[in-house]
């Protein structure tokens, strides 16, 4: 694997990890995109040095040709990531329309259990939970 490629992949992972840990959904989604790009880049790098186009017409030495297999894999991976990212964006939009904010919400049951230790009135939370889990 080329050192530059590895460096770029690790940068993408680092930036993606930072963004995924944010509270804004839009940033989380961009972060996931970066992480997936890093992973896809690693697949492209995995067979080693680049070579000739993998078309075996007359006189081409098979050893000089680059490995086409990871490219087929990475295409599949890109398409899958693309589909899931589109779904996440739709989910984020729905969340924004419902709550009017882009932030990730608290878990109601977590708040209820935290409330039992902190003695706040959790009845309202329970009512919401009751609606949600029907």
Partner 1 sequence: MSWLLPSAVAVPLLGAGLTVLVGRRLFAQRLIAAGGVGFVLVAAVVLLFAADTDSPVVAQLGGWGAPAGITLIADRFAAIILTVSSAMLVAVLAYAVAQLGRDALDWWFHTKYLVLTAGVVMSLLTGDLFNLFVGFEVMLIASYVLLTVKTGPGEIRATMSYVVVNLVASAFFLVVIAFTYGATGTMNLAELAVRLQQVDPAVRNGLGLLMLVVFGIKAALFPLFMWLPDSYPTAPTPVTAVFAGLLTKVGVFAIIRTQTLLFPQDGPSSLLLFVAGATMTVGVLGAIAQNHFKRILSFHIVSQVGYMIMGLGFLSVAGLAAAILYMIHHIVVKTGLFLVGGLVSAENGTGALDRGGGLLHRRPIVAALFLPLALSLAGVPPFSGFVAKIALIQEGVALGRGAIVAVSLAVSFLTLFSMTKIWGATFWGEPKESAGRARGGMIAATATVVVLSLAVAVLAEPLTGLSTRAAADLLDTAVYISAVLGEA
Judged by the rule CB under 8 A, the positions of this chain that interact with partner 1 are 1, 20, 25, 28, 32, 35-36, 38-40, 42-43, 45-48, 67, 69-70, 73, 76-77, 80-81, 83-84, 87-88, 91-92, 94-95, 98-99, 104-105, 107-109, 112-113, 126, 128-134
Residues 53 and 65: beta-carbon distance below 8 Å: yes
In the complex, the smallest distance separating the C-beta of residue 61 from partner 1, rounded to whole angstroms, is 18
In the complex, the smallest distance separating the C-beta of residue 63 from partner 1, rounded to whole angstroms, is 13
Cα dihedral across residues 88, 90, 91, 95: positive or negative: positive
CB nearer to partner 1: give 59 or 65: 65
DSSP for 85-107, please give it.
HHHHHHHHHHHHHHHSS-BPPPP
In the complex, the smallest distance separating the C-beta of residue 62 from partner 1, rounded to whole angstroms, is 14
User: What DSSP state is assigned to residue 47?
Assistant: T
In the complex, the smallest distance separating the C-beta of residue 100 from partner 1, rounded to whole angstroms, is 11
Task: Find the helix or strand (DSSP H, E) in which 40 lies.
Answer: helix 25-45
CB nearer to partner 1: give 60 or 88: 88
CB nearer to partner 1: give 53 or 83: 83
Q: Collect all residues with Cβ–Cβ distance below 8 Å to 51 and sequence separation of at least 6.
A: 64, 65, 66, 67
């Amino acid at each position: 694997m080329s050192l530059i490629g590895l460096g770029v992949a690790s940068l993408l992972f680092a930036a993606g990890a930072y963004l995924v840990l944010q509270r804004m959904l839009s940033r989380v989604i961009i972060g996931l995109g970066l992480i997936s790009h890093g992973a896809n880049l690693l697949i492209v790098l995995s067979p080693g040095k680049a070579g000739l186009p993998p078309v075996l017409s007359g006189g081409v030495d098979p050893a000089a040709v680059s490995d086409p297999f990871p490219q087929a894999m990475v295409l599949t991976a890109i398409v899958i990531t693309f589909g899931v990212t589109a779904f996440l964006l739709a989910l984020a939009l729905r969340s924004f329309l419902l709550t009017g904010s882009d932030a990730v919400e608290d878990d109601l049951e977590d708040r209820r259990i935290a409330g039992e230790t902190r003695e706040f009135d959790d009845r309202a939370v329970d009512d919401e939970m009751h609606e949600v889990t029907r």
